[in-house]
Amino acid sequence: MDTYDDAAFDRFRSELINAGFSPGGDAEYRCWTGPIRASLEGLTDATRMQIDIYPGWPLRYAHVSVAGLRSEHAAPQGTICLWAEDDPAQIDGRELQGLWDRLDQWAAAARNGFHAADRALDAYRLYDVQSSYRAELPLQDLIIRGSNGYAGQMFAIIQGKTLLIEHGNPPDPRTIGKPALAGAFYLRGALPEPPRTLDEIRASLTRRQRRKLTHGLAARSDTAFPAPSGGLDFIVLAWPRHGDDYDAIVLGMSGAAETLAAAALPPTSNDEQALRRRAGTDADLLASKTVLIAGAGSVGGHDEAAMTSRGVGTIHLHDSDVLTSTNLVRHVGTRRFVGRQKADAVAAIIDQHAPWTNVIPHNDLPYDPVELIRTIEGVDLVLDCTGVMPLTAAIADTCRRRGVALITGALFHHGALARVQRQAEGDTPIAARPTDPHYHPLPPHDQAATAGFLELGCTAPVNNAPPVAVLTAASDIAVAAIDLLTGRRERPDERITVLRPMSAPFERTGTLDPRDPASLGTP
């Protein structure tokens, strides 16, 4: 067996032999059996246990299994969860004593009770039969619809290997173009322990819930999950586990009557509350912010997706250009949006990533000063991602006169440089920076060296910045915007990222704060 530490593996096997274990006969010595650890006695009637050494040892720890062991943080077949798969501490299992120490800690917790915070959303692992499908459901939305004893109808469709669950009555399959599965949701108060079988699920329900379950299962035809059966194709049982967290078991049903069987699907909550947990710690603060963004092109589209995914509540998105297939190399949009206005395409994508954001698409920002003033009134921040110098100058002048914060970002020299400028209270006006010695002017445009290319029917060169440069600029603009909206103001009012070396002071890759020439360095 190939390992990442052959010498340690030899020692580990010797220690196993000394502890009374013997290999199971495979040539690579992956499976070992031996006497049960003393700390596990009383948790099971078994007298023997098994140690399986996985590929990747010792970066992946050797797993301990005890037939018949029933406990939290142990799979139905008795495999004990000692470390999470991504826990770097599992390297401690390289020494057999390290594995024993961790096993003894687990056994003590199994006797005394695991911490409640460690138990949420893992009950499906304890169910006796596991499904190869997964489930997504709006768990929080379902929970707030009722209290202990609530029972509600649901429906679901299969997408790939995932059961996508919604509440309500099943729609007409002709409307959605695929079969709809019927399900039921049952909400209970705290359960003493997660149910492991369908009989235990039944026993955990109220009398009314149990009658509904029996009726729904009796209506099933003898079909295998995930085929529709005419009765209940899946059920969900949810109950509180720790604080405001709820656990849930999703069961996919197969067969009928005497052949009825159920398998647990790993559940993932897809309600807005679950999504917002991934938005970051600033999400609640940003929910009240309104941002006007000019430009929904390659830089602007990625920037808008990043801003809204962080939690910004309202976006006014200005761009009247139409998405083309050639834009897709760098744009956040996909082929299904080709032919639509970029602002509409980005708004649709944001709705999928950040449903809490109200995105209002508009045409291009006006150049007329009076109309531009009227457009920016009442926003917390203007983001200029147009890369169009005359419009950027007009936006900067209008924002300065009206006291509206502005961040503008653009790529230069076909992606060699990305510059992000902030113009807020206390910052040097953008229009005054070309004559301010603290700010470095960008290298002059060399038409022969940096010319773009002409598309058929176009009269201007296409900016040839590569996608990595686009993502760099969009990310830095979003970081600058969040820094300002949260009131941290930790960034300088201008920052230049050098992606491809040019003339001094841009001869090295890295970032440059124009007020600190020594800041340029390797990222």
pLDDT at 341: 95
Phi/psi for 386 (5° steps) reads -80, -35
Q: Are 424 and 406 in contact (CB under 8 A)?
A: yes
**Residue 259, C-beta contacts closer than 8 angstroms, at least 6 positions apart:** 222
Please state the separation of Cα 505 from the chain's center in Å. 39
List the strands of the sheet with 358-362, edge to edge. 358-362, 314-318, 290-294, 381-384, 406-412, 417-423, 494-498, 510-512
pLDDT at 450: 46
pLDDT for residue 459 is more than 50: no
Q: What is the mean pLDDT of residues 186-194?
A: 88
Q: Token pair of 334, please? A: 């996909």
Topology agreement, domain 125-270 and domain 276-439+453-519:
no
CB-based burial of residue 233 (10 Å sphere; 0-12 exposed, 13-18 middle, 19+ buried)? buried
Tell me the angle at which helices 96-112 and 6-18 cross, rounded to the nearest 10 degrees: 60
Which CATH architecture best describes the domain 276-439+453-519?
Answer: 3-Layer(aba) Sandwich (3.40)
Q: Chain-wide mean pLDDT for the chain? A: 89
pLDDT in tens, 64-114: 999 988 888 888 788 999 998 889 999 999 999 999 999 999 999 999 887
Phi/psi for 163 (5° steps) reads -90, 110
pLDDT at 460: 44
Number of H helices, E strands in the chain: 14, 20
Q: Which of 149-153, 281-285, 440-444 has the lowest mean pLDDT?
A: 440-444
Strands (E), 30-150: 31-35, 48-52, 63-65, 134-137
Q: Which of 22-31, 309-318, 476-485 has the lowest mean pLDDT?
A: 22-31
Contacts 24+ apart (CB under 8 A), 491-496: 491/422, 492/422, 492/516, 493/421, 493/422, 493/423, 493/424, 493/427, 493/428, 494/419, 494/420, 494/421, 494/422, 494/433, 494/439, 495/419, 495/420, 496/417, 496/418, 496/419, 496/420, 496/440, 496/442
Q: Are 127 and 249 in contact (CB under 8 A)?
A: yes
Query: What CA–CA distances, in Å, run from 10 to 30, 55, 98?
Result: 12, 15, 16
Q: What is the mean pLDDT of residues 396-410?
A: 96
Strands (E), 433-499: 494-498
Strands (E), 36-146: 48-52, 63-65, 134-137
Q: Are 367 and 378 in contact (CB under 8 A)?
A: no
Confidence of residue 243 (pLDDT cuts 50, 70, 90): low
Handedness of CA 192, 197, 199, 201 (dihedral sign): positive
pLDDT for residue 380 is more than 80: yes
Cβ neighbours, 10 Å, residue 23: 17
pLDDT at 517: 57
pLDDT in tens, 206-221: 999 999 999 999 999 9
513 strand-pairing partners: 516
**Residue 206, C-beta contacts closer than 8 angstroms, at least 6 positions apart:** 148, 149, 188
Q: Are 409 and 299 in contact (CB under 8 A)?
A: yes
| DSSP code, position 246 | E
Q: Are 383 and 407 in contact (CB under 8 A)?
A: yes
DSSP helix/strand/coil, 88: helix
Confidence of residue 523 (pLDDT cuts 50, 70, 90): very low
CATH annotation of 125-270: 3.40.140
Cβ neighbours, 10 Å, residue 82: 21
pLDDT for residue 307 is more than 90: yes
pLDDT at 440: 84
pLDDT for residue 406 is more than 80: yes
Q: Token pair of 283, please? A: 């999400």
Flag whether the pTM goes above 0.75: yes
Per-domain residue ranges of the chain:
6-118, 125-270, 276-439+453-519
In whole angstroms, give the CA distance from residue 270 to residue 281: 19
pLDDT at 117: 59
Confidence of residue 116 (pLDDT cuts 50, 70, 90): low
Q: How much of the chain, in percent, has pLDDT values that exceed 70?
A: 92
Confidence of residue 329 (pLDDT cuts 50, 70, 90): very high
**Residue 397, C-beta contacts closer than 8 angstroms, at least 6 positions apart:** 431
Q: What is the mean pLDDT of residues 221-241?
A: 95
pLDDT in tens, 340-355: 999 999 999 999 889 9
Identify residue 345 by its one-letter amino acid code. Answer: A
- Give the CATH number of domain 6-118; options: 1.10.3470, 1.10.12, 3.10.110, 3.30.70: 3.10.110
